[in-house]
Amino acid sequence: MIPRRAVLAGAACLGAVRPAMALPIPAGNRLGFDIVRKGSKIGTHTLTFQPDAHRLTVEIAADIVIALGPIVLFRYRHRATERWEDGRVVALDATTNDDGEMFHVRMRWEDGLPVVEANGAPRYVAPANATPATHWNRAMLDGPFVNTQDGKLLRPSVAPLGVTTALPHCPLPASGFALRGDCVLDTWYDAEPRWVGLRFQGRDGTEIRYELA
């Protein structure tokens, strides 16, 4: 049996001010991934983009179920909403059911800085360049991240992995980045730059991959 939170330990790490038009909104206003473990699909992760002039709303949904026949061994459900204005994230609301354990995260700008609140953690003021750790905006690699599951501020190191053409369902070359420290995972972006892949290990050592759907 997979230990509690084994699967999403890396993904939870699983979100600079830029002009609104520079935000990498994908074609069709949607980005979707299959979550794969040991060659089998165990869940999905989808992002829906709603641009409106200088504003942008991003709805995020991640669902995982691991079962042995009819017996569910692990279940995960994550929902988040980001709101952007003029290229800057101004609000985040996220709710997670991690196999029965509930988490809530809220971020709002107050007096020019983002303030983060989460159940079970002290309220704090994040740096002005902090962004939600939701991966779709490659600019998040330039600053600290707010973990959208537990609200913690993460400052991992980021190193390039080079360019690959081997990602599933990704026809274009993709640049990879290795995040180490507060979280350990590898993530990829194509030239748009669109988020096109993710890889990490669960606490049981199993490799989990995000593949474009």
The model's pLDDT over 90-127, given as tens digits with 9 standing for 90+, comes to: 999 999 999 999 999 999 999 989 999 999 789 999 99
162 pLDDT above the threshold of 60: yes
Question: What is the pLDDT at residue 202?
Answer: 79
Residue with tokens 């199993």: 206
Asked whether residue 135 carries a pLDDT value surpassing 60, the answer given is yes
Write down the pLDDT at residue 18: 35
Separation CA 195–CA 131 (nearest Å): 15
Q: What share of the chain is helix, strand, coil (3-state, %, to 5)?
A: 5, 55, 40
Tell me the two tokens of residue 156.
Answer: 């991992």
> Looking at residue 120, what is its pLDDT?
79
pLDDT range class, residue 12, cuts 50, 70, 90? very low
Distance CA 44, CA 62 (A): 6
pLDDT, one tens digit per residue, over 171-206 is 999 999 999 999 999 999 999 999 999 999 976 789
* Pairing label, strands 207-212, 30-37: antiparallel
| φ and ψ at residue 87, rounded to 5 degrees | 80, 5
Query: Would you state the pLDDT for residue 1?
Result: 39
Q: What is the pLDDT of residue 46?
A: 98
> C-alpha distances in angstroms, 147 versus 36, 106, 172?
22, 11, 29
pLDDT at position 121, please? 84
Go through the chain and tell me how many residues it has: 213
In contact, 33 and 213? CB cutoff 8 Å = yes
Q: Which residues contact 213 (CB under 8 A, 6 or more apart)?
A: 32, 33, 34, 44, 169
Residue 8 has pLDDT above 50, yes or no: no
Can you say how many angstroms the Cα of residue 44 is from the centroid of all Cα atoms in its chain?
A: 12
Distance CA 19, CA 27 (A): 18
Residue 17: the pLDDT is 34
Q: What is the pLDDT of residue 213?
A: 95
**What single-letter amino acid sits at 170?**
C
